[in-house]
Structure 1
Amino acid sequence: MNIANKITISRVILIPIFLIFLLVPMSLGTITIGGAEISVSQFIAGIIFIVASCTDWLDGYYARKLNLVTNFGKFLDPLADKLLVTSAFVSLVGLDLIPSWMVIIILAREFAVTGLRLVAAGEGDVIAASGVAKWKTLFQMVGIILYLFNNVPFGWGGFPLAQIIMWVAVIMTIISGWDYFYKNREVLLRSK
């Protein structure tokens, strides 16, 4: 197994650790960051999420730089991303930190695009991630991080950056979903 795939697997392994610190009640106390109070366990979960998110960039970097692109990596990398982001979003809804309708739109798009990719794969086509989808993922991850850290440091003046970033992420999610289906409409038309 190459280094890129090992990094991707590490992202999958970090997901349950992230969820334990975020969701399991722990008496680790609280810390104050810029006037905002956050539980130590949520802070640790935020750090773990950042590390896991960075592995997404790192595995891709090594795969391209060292020519380590494998079918296993093509399968596991987007799956690991979806597992990480989905688990974070569902947890944030459960903690009443993010509106559920936003997460429903995001998850619906993920399921729809995954279905499109499966249909394409059944016909021997591969649908690569688009530029819009990569930006969508970046906005989603930044939004999650801001929510995990209670919008610090932007919450000091009441500036709702986390909410703004999530609105952008939802809009980018809708645009990227439309983009995938529009550019790959012939896959669906052929499969009738």
Structure 2
Amino acid sequence: MSTATKSPILNLPNILTLLRIAAIPLLVVLLLSPSKEAGFWAAALFAIASITDWLDGYLARRMGIETVFGKFLDPIADKLIVMAALIMLLPFNRVPAWMVLVILGREIIITGLRGLASTEGIVIPASNLGKFKTIFQIVAILGLLLHYDYHWFFAVNHPLLTVNMHNIGIFYLWIATVITIWSGIDYLAKFTSIIAK
């Protein structure tokens, strides 16, 4: 039995999800500029949006107001903001195009398969791989948005106190890409197994 309720669509968790979608145009505008300041504010906006991703699900469960609308919209909002950030970073060569293709292609294929399964009344549960994928994608994108060197301890310009956020972003993006492929194969295997039955 579904745990979704007949709560009003405009409840607090769903409003947070809608705000996450509304933040995408602002994120896009910020990423039209390659400046350090624009990247910082884009990263801050993306971080806040990522927190609302966790918060809306937590509140929905805590308040007992999970809705069909929320269950549909929440993953769509997540994918849209990740897609927007990665695509907007492409013109500045901050992210390899093939990685973006793999990540976005996986999301489109799996979303399509989920839709196909749901029309047959089949629910394929998300695995922990999907959660890890999301976490590493978020960390990677934050690093890529910040991009530049940042100095710790009152901006002391010393090599040992300097971190290049782009390198950190790329490191985590490699991990995210591997998990993206792994989780995609895992989902395809589950889908094929269930459909075969």
> TM-score when scaled to structure 2?
0.83
> Which residue does the alignment assign to 1:167?
174
Paired with 1:158 and 1:45, the residues of 2 have a C-alpha distance of: 17
Runs of 4+ in 1 over 4 A off after TM superposition: 151-155
Moved more, 155-164 or 69-78: 155-164
C-alpha displacement of 1:166? 0.6
Q: Distance in 1 between matches of 2:25 and 2:112?
A: 25
Partner of residue 78, structure 2: 81
- Structure 1 residues 77-86 or 59-68, which shifts more? 59-68
Asked if 1:130 corresponds to 2:139, the answer is no
Superposed displacement of residue 162, structure 1: 1.7
Instruction: Compute the displacement of 1:62 (Å).
Output: 0.4
Give the root-mean-square deviation of aligned CA atoms. 2.1
Give the aligned partner of residue 29 of structure 1.
Answer: none
SS in 2 for 1:101: helix
CA shift, 1:130, in A, is 1.8
Partner residue, 1:20:
29
Name the counterpart of 1:34: none
Match of 1:66 in 2: 63
SS at match of 1:125: coil
**Deviations 1:46-83 (Å, cap 9, x if unpaired)?**
11111111110010110111111110001100000000
Which residue matches 1:145? Answer: 142
Q: Residue 187 of structure 1: CA displacement?
A: 4.4
User: Structure 2: any 5+ residue segments left out of the alignment?
Assistant: 1-9, 152-158
Partner of 1:11: 20
Pairing partner for 2:51 from 44, 49, 54: 54
Unmatched segments (≥5 aa) in structure 1:
27-37
CA–CA distance in structure 2, aligned partners of residues 158 and 137 of structure 1 = 22
> CA contact under 8 A between 1:151 and 1:161: conserved in structure 2?
no
- Residue number among 107, 113, 118 corresponding to 1:116 in the alignment: 113
- The answer on whether the counterparts of 2:13 and 2:55 sit within 8 Å (CA) in structure 1 is yes
Range with greater deviation from structure 2 (92-101 or 139-148): 92-101
Number of residue pairs aligned between Structure 1 and Structure 2:
178
Distance 1:50 1:157, change over 3 A: closer
% identity of equivalent residues: 41
3-state SS in 1 of match to 2:110? helix
1:180 aligns with 2:187: yes
